[in-house]
Amino acid sequence: MNSAFFVTTNVVITKNQSQTTCEEDKDNKWHASCKNDSDCTKGDVHMLGWGVKTGRCVNSSREAELRVCEIYGWCPTEQDILPLGDDKVLMTRVKNFTVLIKNSVEFPKFGIKRRNILDSMSKNYLRQCNYRPDSEVDKYCPIFKLGDIIKHGQAISQEDAKQIWITGVYTGGARKLNVTHPPAGMVAIDIHWECNFDYDEEFCKPEYKFRNLEDGQVGRGWNFRHAYHYVEDGIHKRTLVKAYGIQFFISVTGRGGKFDILNFTMNLGSGLALLTLATVLCDIIVLNIMRKRKKYRQAKIDKVGLLAALTVAYENSDSEKLTYM
């Protein structure tokens, strides 16, 4: 079973957009920059652009001495600028947020259902507990601090944790957000149930592990856009929000077992049969494939001959005893 949830750590907000004409985003220079109108094919739509080109080449208001194509679309186009400006963090306490994870599993073969909120947990306990892997009690608490998830994660180094919680690397100006290293990340929360139902089912409890899913430096993090639409003075407008954050992926695995006499006897019988077969296979390999197969064959024949002679001698001895009596 898999699930996920997203926690926003920072946003880029573009207010009061309406459908009209404006300059293309200057950051898309390789397809937006131009020298004259002939460089902007009317009706052309680029996959990474913000609208349909009108065929005009205009001066950029965001960068001096730069000309870009004019577009028709939601204007003004997005700029990667933080809402509070400078180096101020929008959400400084995100790592102190808590999340309650509810998980239920079923072992239909044994008719057993379990959930990670244990029967021994009271309402008062759940109000105050936080997951702590070094505590015999709190290691089963289903309430997690986001900061602790990153802290206790396997294969999450201090540098990875810093990258996940970073609020932005600023370049090219005091308020410019470097979108190559966004303040975001991807983390896995693994819940595993390892249960032996020969004991009481109350001993069947979950185990939590956390992993960093980031790999490499290109395309790190997680972000998505959503818009709030409204009408102002009869004009359809919207506020576009680009949300950076941490995507937590939850995966659940489990294994339950119980002693069964039928399976035990079947496995035992199969094992004994394999032992008998192993002797035959060894004889075939040693007597026909090995380099010293002639010596092995001679030794086996001598051994068999000796056993036969001893058997005959023993039988003759018994016969003499019977005759004497």
**Residue 5 pairs with which residues in a beta bridge?**
248
CATH number, domain 2-10+85-223+243-257, options 3.40.50.11810, 1.10.600.10, 2.60.490.10, 3.40.50.12370: 2.60.490.10
Please tell me which residue, 172 or 272, carries the higher pLDDT value.
272
Q: What is the pLDDT of residue 184?
A: 64
Please tell me which residue, 23 or 324, carries the higher pLDDT value.
23
Residue 294 pLDDT > 80, yes or no? Answer: no
211/188 Cα distance (integer angstroms): 5
Please tell me which residue, 298 or 301, carries the higher pLDDT value.
298
Please tell me which residue, 171 or 219, carries the higher pLDDT value.
219
Q: What is the pLDDT of residue 156?
A: 60
Q: What is the pLDDT of residue 277?
A: 76
Residue 89 pLDDT > 80, yes or no? Answer: no
> Which 8-state DSSP code applies to residue 45?
B
Mean pLDDT score, 36-46: 93
Taken in order 215, 218, 220, 226, is the CA torsion positive or negative? negative
Residue 8 pLDDT > 60, yes or no? Answer: yes
- Hey, where are the domains in the chain? 2-10+85-223+243-257, 269-324
Q: For residue range 230-251, what is the model confidence (pLDDT) as tens digits?
A: 999 999 999 999 988 889 999 9
pLDDT confidence bin for 28, thresholds 50/70/90? confident
Residue 186 pLDDT > 80, yes or no? Answer: yes
Q: What is the pLDDT of residue 72?
A: 97
Question: Which residue has 């005959």 as its token pair?
Answer: 312
Instruction: Say if residues 91 and 186 touch (Cβ distance below 8 Å).
Output: no
Average per-residue pLDDT in the chain?
Answer: 81
Q: Which residues have C-beta within 8 Å of that of residue 257, sequence separation ≥ 6?
A: 195, 196, 197
Q: Which residues have C-beta within 8 Å of that of residue 84, sequence separation ≥ 6?
A: 90
Mean pLDDT score, 299-305: 59
